Amino acid sequence: MESLDHNGAVWNFCDFLGHRVIDHQGHALGRVVDLVADLREHDPPITGVILSGSHRRRQHLSWTWVEEVLPDSIKVRSGAFDSLSAVSTIPGEVLLRKGLLDKQIVDTGGAKVVRVNDLQLRKRNGHLVLSRVDVGMRGLLRRVGLLRVTTALIQWLFGYTMPDNLIAWRLVQPVGSPDILRLKFSQTRLARLHPADLADIIEDLDRPERDRVFRALDIEMAAEVLEEADPKVQVQLIQHMPTEEVSDVLEQMSPSEATDLLQELEAPHAQTLLQEMEPEAAQDVRCLLTHDEETAGGMMTTSFFSQPPLATVKEALEALRREASDLDVIYYIYVEDQQGQLVGAVNLRELLTSDPQAPIESIMVKRVVTAALDDKKSDIADLFVKYGLRALPVVDHEGRIHGVIRFKSLLEAVAPYLR
Amino acid sequence: MNVRPPATTPRTESQKTPRSRQGYWRRLAVILAVIGPGIITSNVDNDAGGITTYSLAGSEFGLRLLWSMVPITGALILIQEMSARMGVVSGKGLAALIREQFGAAVTFYLMIGIVLTNLANTVAEFAGVVAALELFTVPRYYSAPVAAFLVWFLVLKGSYKTVEKVFLGACVFYVAYIVSGFLSKPDWGSVSREILTPRLDFSTAALTMVIGLVGTTIAPWMQFYLQAAIVDKGLSAKDYRIIRWDVIVGSVTVSVIAFFIILVCAITIHTHGIHIESAKDAALALVPLAGKYAADLFALGLLNASLFAASILPLSTAYTVCEAFGWESSVDCKFEEAPQFYILYSLMIVLGAGLVMIPNAPLIPIMYFSQVLNGVILPVILFFMIRLINDPSVMGEHVNGRLANLFTWLTAVAVSLLSIVTVVTAVW
């Protein structure tokens, strides 16, 4: 019995729609218009049925009254008629047709946004549960009523059997209903995604769902997603957020990315955000804002690590350990004299393998490859290629270091030309 | 221990000059970016079918049908405003809204209708390209495949936004119609009399022509395109006032240009009693009447309009269908990531240009047929739009008011009646 239940029958949710609900005496209570599922469970059980009775009034019946699911009707125990109630759901419950069917969902396995063509229900431990989501052509054709004709035709013409495209419910994150995302972000299935994938997903969602998902992210994730998102989408995402929240996210972002984002905004909005940000982070961004986006000054980040020439290797390592989490570039340690002039650089490997007591001055490379503040993208790309760098310091006419261009920023700048 | 450079460093002078120039360009770019979805949609609306119909209306009926552009403009504004409002409030495309509110089956059949209609329109656009270039003695066996490849390549390999701006800039050519309108020295007294005292003409010919005017001015694809463009721009309820102006300005622009095309053809071709059947005929007829340059400008206008619409229609169709069925759709995707999108897009262009290349393909019936299809689909779309815009779960407080509904229903009924008449006359 158990095993039969386990591998038991599979239903397509849409087949339920329009089924009659009848009790023991054969009285029809109405026709099924929707089912209620409790999404808080791992395998969401069906907890109720919405039926349209006399005068097309919609009523709710608890699933506990259901005795048997027949091929063309649902049989309920006697007395069910008296427990019909007005349609209502508790938080966490969702109406399958109204809240999921035909809506967008996130397939966290394939990291993409898809539309729900049908939902597959299955018996598990005696409960009818939501088990899979149909996002394939077969599901769509079944809805349209053309499945048999089309599959037969394709089979006959090409000898090809159209496969089902079903996603296990466990890999799905619904985004339609507001209270689903009231969960802590770490508890949603979206937390499993890479920020870059999540950024793509957010771009693919319709605006209401997009805002909902973005607002559900925690600050670190929001910052990373924002860094990866398309500039136009970035602006849309933060447009309707309270200023304090946006500035928190901006502080988490790399200064160069935050600057790029602020440059996309209208000046008054950008100013408000800058004022709201922590002074130190805001100062970095203000400096970067003075440069043209297309030049070295606009591509660099100010979040690099520098040391005076006389600091010892040990001191430098300790300082690096303290600062590392806030730095954009940690592989190179830049050596800056009292005038702010770049006098040398050490890479992390050398730092780790050198005598802790030695002054940095003694191990640094003195001829550092640098870019000027107004160098063009193409010049910078040439330098990266020629010297095989991971990061390139940017200096002014007096040789003072202003920032560092990361390889990542260069890649982003040249990627459009690679297509 | 200093991690960041001293903040006291003054910025060097050398960066100032390029930056202020940059600021100037940026402001210009912002202005260009603000040129709204409504204006773009309307300019695409002046496509091959549009220019043809307007020329025919002018040369066949003179100034007599000029008045009909007034109610048509009203209806256009009304319908476009609904699309814009839905886009702004729901943040979703029309196809997505229809799918979510009316289910898969309805959407499926509607999409079949949209694909067929848009395909017919695309064929008409390529027919326009071919006709315009034949005026410069380019044979269709060269012009059609080259145009198809150009459109396909520019949109997929270049940037659609650039393409859009180029064509939109080229739309300035339309001023040529207005200039030639003034140059042909119309009797403004009789022009205003014709507009203010509409003469209802219930002859089959006149009725068919009015239907053609409605069908070409209020095309179904426009509602999908406009709403998608607004959603894509990320405009929201706070931008609504500006968008409404954008829609109004766009709709009035399309009508003003249509007005002048009708006017030019009326005073030149009609008064000389020349019978024409296409925009190409119109251009040819203009040579002796208005000079070679006027005719060339007319042909260039037709070419630009047709190419612009030919690059937008297939793209808009592919986006609409993919949006309805939840398929990946972006020109930034690889083929394997968005196969349905690329297949649909390419198929529309290949079929569109291919059908035109069939020897002796009847280009004029094709253009006419595309407008009949527009007429059949439009009432269906209007019905869905009215349902959606009155649904509080979609529109919240922005549902239609009673007056708006009255006018919308009137428009829908009028357009439907006209469509039924079109189909009936087309079948006969």
pLDDT, one tens digit per residue, over B311-332 is 889 999 999 999 999 898 877 7
Name chain A contacts of B7, Cβ cutoff 8 Å: 283, 287
- Name which of B199, B216, B308 is nearest B255 in CA terms: B216
Q: Can you give the pLDDT at residue B26?
A: 57
- Give me the mean pLDDT over the B237-242 stretch: 77
Strand, coil or helix: A26: coil
- Name which of A51, A75, A71 is nearest A61 in CA terms: A51
DSSP string, A324-341: GGG-S--SEEEEE-TT-B
Q: Can you give the pLDDT at residue A177?
A: 67
Residue A326 backbone dihedrals phi, psi, to 5 degrees: -100, 0
Q: Which tokens hold the place of A366?
A: 């003195």
CA atoms within 13 A on the CB side of B410: 12
Numbered residues of chain B with Cβ closer than 8 Å to any chain A Cβ: 1-7, 9, 11-12, 14-15, 18-19, 22, 90-93, 96, 99-100, 103-105, 107-109, 157, 231, 234, 236, 325-326, 328
What are the beta bridge partners of residue A35? A49
Cβ of A114 within 8 Å of Cβ of B326? The answer is yes
Candidates A102, A283, A396; nearest CB to B7: A283
Candidates B5, B12, B105; nearest CB to A144: B105
CATH class of A306-418: alpha beta
Q: Can you give the pLDDT at residue A39?
A: 86
Q: Is A104 on the interface with B (CB under 8 A)?
A: yes
Candidates B3, B4, B91; nearest CB to A207: B91
Candidates A101, A297, A302; nearest CB to B5: A302
A285 within 8 A of A277, measured Cβ to Cβ: yes
Higher pLDDT, B400 or A88: B400
User: What is the helix, strand, coil percentage profile of chain B, to 5?
Assistant: 80, 0, 20
Candidates B11, B91, B108; nearest CB to A290: B11
Higher pLDDT, B85 or B421: B85
What's the mean pLDDT when you consider all of chain B? 83
A313 within 8 A of A354, measured Cβ to Cβ: yes
Q: A127: distance to nearest CA of chain B, Å?
A: 27
- Give me the mean pLDDT over the B262-266 stretch: 88
Q: Which tokens hold the place of A79?
A: 């007395």
**A154 contacts: CB under 8 Å, gap ≥ 6:** A160, A161, A162
Intra-chain end-to-end CA distance of chain A, in Å: 58
pLDDT, one tens digit per residue, over A293-328 is 788 888 888 889 999 999 999 999 999 999 888 888
User: Phi-psi region for residue B360, left (φ > 0), alpha (ψ -120 to 50) or beta?
Assistant: left
Cβ of A143 within 8 Å of Cβ of B14? The answer is no
Fold for the domain defined by A180-290: MgtE N-terminal fold (1.25.60)
- Which amino acid, one-letter code, is at A203? E
Q: How far is C-alpha B416 from the geometric centre of its chain's CA atoms?
A: 20
B177 within 8 A of B261, measured Cβ to Cβ: yes
Residue A337 backbone dihedrals phi, psi, to 5 degrees: -85, -175
- Which amino acid, one-letter code, is at B221? W
Buried b (16+ CB within 10 A) or exposed e, A1-17: eeeeeeeeeebbbbebb
pLDDT, one tens digit per residue, over B146-203 is 999 988 888 777 776 777 777 777 777 777 778 777 877 788 888 888 888 887 777 7
Q: Which tokens hold the place of B176?
A: 């040529």
- Name which of A107, A94, A274 is nearest A177 in CA terms: A94
Strand, coil or helix: B135: coil
Q: Is A212 on the interface with B (CB under 8 A)?
A: no
Residue A53 backbone dihedrals phi, psi, to 5 degrees: -100, -145
A221 by Cβ neighbours in 10 Å (0-12 / 13-18 / 19+) ranks as buried
Q: A148-157, B93-102, B383-392: which has the minimum mean pLDDT?
A: A148-157
How many angstroms separate the CA atoms of A229 and B26, rounded? Answer: 22
- Name which of A356, A361, A328, A332 is nearest A346 in CA terms: A332
Q: Which of residues 217-276 of A touch B (CB under 8 A)?
A: 232-233, 235-236, 239-240
- Output DSSP code: residue B11: P
Residue A403 parent element (H or E): strand A401-406
Q: Can you give the pLDDT at residue B5?
A: 40
Q: Is A148 on the interface with B (CB under 8 A)?
A: no
Q: Is A311 on the interface with B (CB under 8 A)?
A: yes
**B84 contacts: CB under 8 Å, gap ≥ 6:** B37, B38, B226, B227, B230, B240, B243, B244, B246, B247
In sequence order, what E strands does A277-366 have? 306-307, 332-336, 342-347
Candidates B3, B93, B108; nearest CB to A306: B3
- Name which of B405, B406, B400, B410 is nearest B89 in CA terms: B400
| Location of each CATH 1.25.60.10 domain in chain A | 180-290
pLDDT, one tens digit per residue, over B271-306 is 888 888 877 888 888 777 777 777 788 888 888 889
Q: Spell out the alpha helix ranges (H) of B358-391.
A: 363-389
ipTM: 0.77
Name chain A contacts of B1, Cβ cutoff 8 Å: 307-308, 311, 315, 319
Strands A306-307 and A332-336, sheet pairing: parallel
Mean pLDDT by 10 residues, chain A (419 residues): 49 89 86 90 90 84 88 85 83 88 90 91 88 92 90 87 88 76 71 88 87 86 89 85 88 87 84 87 83 84 90 92 88 91 92 91 90 89 88 91 89 75
Is residue B231 scored above 90 in pLDDT? no
Task: Dihedral sign for Cα B419, B422, B426, B428, please.
Answer: positive
Q: Can you give the pLDDT at residue B317?
A: 95
pLDDT, one tens digit per residue, over B347-386 is 999 999 999 888 877 777 777 778 778 878 888 999 999 9
Q: Which of residues 338-357 of A touch B (CB under 8 A)?
A: 340
Give me the residue label for tokens 């806030």.
Answer: A326
Strands A10-12 and A20-22, sheet pairing: unpaired
- Name which of A201, A241, A16 is nearest A104 in CA terms: A201
A21 within 8 A of A61, measured Cβ to Cβ: yes
Q: Which tokens hold the place of B312?
A: 């937008």
DSSP string, B399-420: S--HHHHHHHHHHHHHHHHHHH
Q: B283: distance to nearest CA of chain A, Å?
A: 42
| Location of each CATH 2.30.30.240 domain in chain A | 8-95
- Which amino acid, one-letter code, is at A347? N
How many angstroms separate the CA atoms of A214 and A204, rounded? Answer: 12
Query: CA dihedral in degrees (B101, B105, B110, B112; nearest 10)?
Result: 150
Q: Is A22 on the interface with B (CB under 8 A)?
A: no
Strand, coil or helix: A119: strand
- Output DSSP code: residue A346: E
Residue A12 parent element (H or E): strand A10-12
Q: pLDDT class for B8, splitting at 50, 70, 90? A: very low
CATH class of A8-95: mainly beta
Q: How far is C-alpha A118 from the geometric centre of its chain's CA atoms?
A: 24
Is residue B91 scored above 60 in pLDDT? yes
Task: Dihedral sign for Cα A330, A334, A337, A342, please.
Answer: negative
B125 vs A107, A162, B129, B419, CA distance in Å?
A: 39, 36, 6, 21
How many angstroms separate the CA atoms of B295 and A300, rounded? Answer: 55
3-state DSSP of B60-120: HHCCCCHHHHHHHHHHHHHHHHHHHHHHHHHCCCHHHHHHHHHCHHHHHHHHHHHHHHHHH
**B180 contacts: CB under 8 Å, gap ≥ 6:** B260, B264, B290, B294, B297, B298
Q: Can you give the pLDDT at residue B171?
A: 75
- Name which of B117, B142, B215, B177 is nearest B298 in CA terms: B177
Q: pLDDT class for B25, splitting at 50, 70, 90? A: low
Give me the residue label for tokens 């949609």.
Answer: B41
- Which amino acid, one-letter code, is at B415? V
Is residue B97 scored above 90 in pLDDT? yes
Q: Is A136 on the interface with B (CB under 8 A)?
A: no
Q: Give all domains of chain B, ordered by start, each with its CATH number.
A: 37-392+399-427 (1.20.1740.10)
A218 vs A186, A195, A221, CA distance in Å?
A: 8, 12, 5
Higher pLDDT, B76 or B16: B76
Q: Which tokens hold the place of A375?
A: 């160098």
In sequence order, what E strands does A137-222 have? 166-168, 172-174
Q: pLDDT class for B18, splitting at 50, 70, 90? A: very low
